[in-house]
Amino acid sequence: MSVPAISYKETLVWENPVYVDVRAPVEFTKDHIPQAINYPLFDDAERAYIGTLYHTQGKEKALLEGVSIASLKLKDMLSFFSTLKEHVIIYCYRGGMRSESIVSFCNALGFSFYKLDGGYKAYRHYVREYLTEFTFTIPVFTLYGLAGSGKTRVLKNIPYTIDLEHCAGNRSSLFGSLGMPNHTQKYFESLIVQKLRTIGSWRYCLFEGESRKIGNCHIPHCVLNSLQNGKSIWLETPLEKRIQHIYDEYVPFISEELILPILDKLQPTMGKSKTAYCKQLFKQGNIHELIEFLLLHHYDPEYLHSIKHISFMAHIPFKDPVTTAFEMETLINDMLSV
């Protein structure tokens, strides 16, 4: 008897659908439906073991071993599923045996679960197709400013924004990976699609100016093209305040094990003597001086070179995140009313 199945697009009309990803944690970490709950049928070691059995002793042996392992988890599984509300969708990689067996078993006991048709693989196809076909129908604005200007702090106080660095789990520099999850390209795209699906009622969309990549994540063309062609605004922040912003953000990660290897990666562009001087400042505990040197001798020149062809419609001085956000919203609304 076939189990009830539903496509990802069909679930989008539901209010508060609950996605349960029964793939192994290693699969879930690479990418998953945002807000999905990971309740793996097999952990990483079990998945690897069953996969080995499949390739060495055949499908039947792997299936029997899988059933044996899963049967020991049924009591805890039912206890977990009993806590979930309506509109529960179970998915595995292809919508195959893992999700189908769980839905079949649970529904036989009185639950009303759905299997995600095609599983994660079909969801991933939806994401790729969405990004291929998406076009912005609202005005796009792009906020630029030197490193440490407080762009992200300002954007967090404006509702019509998409924080690409948050989606990438990276602050968009060699140091930007510190203390961040560093998402995969696939999960980066999943989070972007999730945001793009919410902007239909927005008056405009505001991005932070980015290059083609944030960490190891490539910005999808539909977003990058609109970002680069958006109405540009410059955030002006004094050097001293920029230094303090960066210090406050990175101080939890200031250790030789983390910082010195990153400084080594800057040597090809900064040169040996400047890199050695940076290491000296760090070892002496002169962190503010190190930040200032990196800004003036590396980050600022590179950033200014990258934006030299951009014409800015307005310059806004940074005061504090809330006040600056209010002034930026006022500026944008004035632009839209012209």
Enzyme catalytic residues: 92
Instruction: Output the furthest CA–CA distance in the chain (Å, rounded).
Output: 72
Question: CB–CB of 22/39 below 8 Å?
Answer: yes
The first and second tokens of residue 62, run together, are 């792997």
Contacts of 285 (CB under 8 A, 6+ apart): none
Which amino acid would we find at residue 33? I
Question: CB–CB of 180/135 below 8 Å?
Answer: no
The first and second tokens of residue 36, run together, are 């999905």
Contacts of 318 (CB under 8 A, 6+ apart): 145, 149, 150, 154, 235, 236, 237, 238, 241, 324
Cα–Cα distance measured from residue 318 to residue 327, given in angstroms and rounded to the nearest whole number: 10
